[in-house]
Structure formats: C-alpha cells, structure tokens
C-alpha cells in the first residue's frame, strides 16, 4: 500500500499552502506557516497520512507520521 502524504509548502505569491501528494492545486491557503501546519496536522491525523513540511527554500523539515507505522523508531529515552 502506498503511503499518503500531505505537504505544507510556500506559495510563490506569498503565504503557505497545504497540498496532498501530487496535487496540482492546494487544499487550502494560509497567511502563516503556523496556521498551515495546525490545519494540515489535523487533516493528516484524519487521513492517517504523513505530514511533510517544507521550508521557504523547498527543503523538507521534520516530517511526521500519523498512521500505523510498521517500523516505528525505537524510543531512545530509556
């Protein structure tokens, strides 16, 4: 099964967009990255998908999974 992804990306005309993987258009547009992240986090949890935020330079920053990961990272706080 292919994983689902939701990306938070900068809009070339200003602000931030939340987009599903391979989407031409944004699901929703926001003025700030925080607003885009908050809304997208809720959608990613609802869709059981990956949340992949991008910086203004387009590079991926701290992705997060909201699905049942078959290989979760081991807890390093022991």
The pLDDT, as a whole number, for residue 41 is 96
Q: What is the pLDDT of residue 66?
A: 86
Q: What is the pTM of this model?
A: 0.82
The residue among 31, 32, 44, 40 whose CA lies nearest residue 8 is 40
Among 78, 62, 31, 68, smallest CA distance to 47 is for 68
pLDDT tens for each residue of 3-53:
789 999 999 999 999 999 999 999 999 999 999 999 999 999 999 999 999
Q: Which residues pair with 73 in a beta bridge?
A: none
Question: For residue 72, is pLDDT > 90?
Answer: no
Look at residue 74 in the predicted model and tell me its pLDDT. Answer: 63
């Amino acid at each position: 099964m292919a994983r689902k992804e939701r990306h938070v990306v900068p809009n070339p005309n200003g602000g931030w967009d939340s987009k599903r993987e391979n989407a031409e258009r944004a699901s929703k547009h926001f003025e700030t990255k925080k607003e885009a992240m908050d809304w997208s986090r809720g959608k990613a949890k609802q869709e059981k998908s990956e949340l992949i935020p991008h910086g203004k330079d387009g590079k991926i920053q701290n992705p997060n999974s909201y699905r049942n990961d078959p290989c979760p990272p081991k807890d390093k706080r022991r």
